[in-house]
């Protein structure tokens, strides 16, 4: 039997099982599920979440597997990937060094440490840097295309 046929059968089985659990949740109703959850009973929705988590984990694993397979067996792609990972690391390092941290009280009474606060600031700076790079590259290549493709 072909691998594609086996995968289709597995997908059909998972789909039918998920539909069964979905209909059981719908049949139970919101109020009863909330009441059961308040009592600590999550048996109605747990199977559907378990299936979702397993499918998500398998998807991520397959994506990583095929991505790494393609990169590691091609030295040019490996070199280029390591270069971009290094450049991303530089952005993270510069953003972290440019950030400051202050202990901050949270709404729930906990205290956010100075280091965690610094990482939050670094994350925002990383986002801003990467957004600026993306917007700049779109503008650059858009203008380049307009100028040179006349």
**Which tens digits make up the pLDDT trace of 51-106?**
889 888 988 998 888 888 888 888 888 899 899 999 999 999 999 999 998 998 88
Q: Does the CA dihedral 95-100-102-105 come out positive or negative?
A: negative
pLDDT at 126: 97
What's the predicted TM-score (pTM) here? 0.59
Q: Does the pLDDT of residue 40 top 70, yes or no?
A: yes
pLDDT at 118: 95
Q: Does the pLDDT of residue 36 top 70, yes or no?
A: yes
pLDDT at 17: 87
Average pLDDT over residues 132-148: 94
Q: CA-to-CA distance for 80 and 86, rounded, in angstroms? A: 10
Domain ranges of the chain: 1-73, 74-150
Reported as type and span, the H/E element at residue 105 is strand 104-105
Residue 150: band (very low, low, confident or very high) from pLDDT cuts 50, 70, 90 = low
Average pLDDT over residues 111-118: 92
């Amino acid at each position: 039997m072909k691998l594609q046929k086996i995968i289709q059968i597995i997908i059909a089985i998972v789909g039918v099982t998920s539909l069964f659990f979905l209909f059981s949740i719908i049949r139970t109703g919101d109020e009863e599920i909330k009441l059961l959850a308040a009592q600590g009973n999550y048996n109605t929705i747990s199977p559907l979440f378990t299936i979702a988590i397993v499918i998500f984990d398998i998807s991520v694993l397959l994506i990583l597997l095929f991505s790494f397979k393609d990169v590691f067996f091609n030295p040019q792609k490996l070199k280029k990937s390591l270069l971009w990972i290094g450049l991303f690391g530089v952005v993270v390092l510069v953003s972290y060094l440019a950030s400051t941290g202050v202990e901050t009280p949270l709404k729930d009474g906990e205290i956010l440490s100075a280091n965690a606060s610094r990482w939050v600031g670094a994350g925002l700076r990383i986002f801003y840097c990467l957004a600026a790079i993306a917007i700049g590259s779109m503008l650059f290549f858009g203008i380049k295309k307009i100028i040179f493709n006349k």
